Amino acid sequence: MGDLSIKVGKNVVMGENVTIESNVMIGDNVVIGNYVVIKKNTIIGNNVKIGDLVVLGKEPASNKKMARKPNTKLPPLEIKDGVTIGCNTVIYYGVVLHEDVLVGDISSIREDVVVGESSIIGRNVMVEPATTIGRKVTIQTGCYITANMIIEDEVFIGPCCSSANDKYMGMGNFQHKGPIIKREAKIGNNATLLPGITIGEKAIVGAGAVITRDVAPNKIVVGNPGRPLG
């Protein structure tokens, strides 16, 4: 490894054809799979496991049609101690993965996202930019987590849930506002959360529900449109 700007700790195991760009820092006891690409300035803590065919620290792309341009002034990707990242996953710059986070295979986490300690980002999950995910959150397989969303601590989101942040569906340059899910709320399989709504603490959203308005704390909401149960 000829680039002196790259810092690699003790007991690091690398697979075949790993690409590491300049100013990358890798801690101790890290395992890096085959054909991994680590982009410039990425910071990786101790005891991290990275699966095959992962891209870390990717820069976002854009074109003329996109109303929302990527933020190019974000800090590098930072992966804290004990994180596990599955195969074929792409994580952009400006992301912070806190200790003991698990990211499943074929997932993508866009720029300006924070994932709290001991949270799970399941297989084939998409997390869009400027979203905050708290501690001990579970987001199961196939979920779409929109941009500008807040998910507080100990939230559970079942498989294939979808969220939105643009109530005008691209018809103008309006402010985007994703849902807010308060701590310990639970979202059932295939639920849809529309822009700007708040799910209260310990509320439950039933499977397949379409949530168009706020859900009060401790309430159970089901159906399309979502209505309180009972």
Taking only the tens place, the pLDDT of each residue in 198-222 is: 999 999 999 999 999 999 999 999 9
| 132-133/114-115 β-pairing | parallel
Query: Which sequence spans correspond to the domains of the chain?
Result: 9-58+72-127, 132-230
- The answer on pLDDT for 61 being more than 80 is yes
Cα distance between residue 148 and residue 134, in whole Å: 14
CATH number at 9-58+72-127: 2.160.10.10
Model pTM above 0.85: yes
**Residue 52 φ/ψ, nearest 5 degrees:** -70, 150
Cα distance between residue 73 and residue 94, in whole Å: 9
CATH number at 132-230: 2.160.10.10
* Type of residue found at 215: V
Total residues belonging to the chain: 230
- The answer on pLDDT for 172 being more than 90 is no
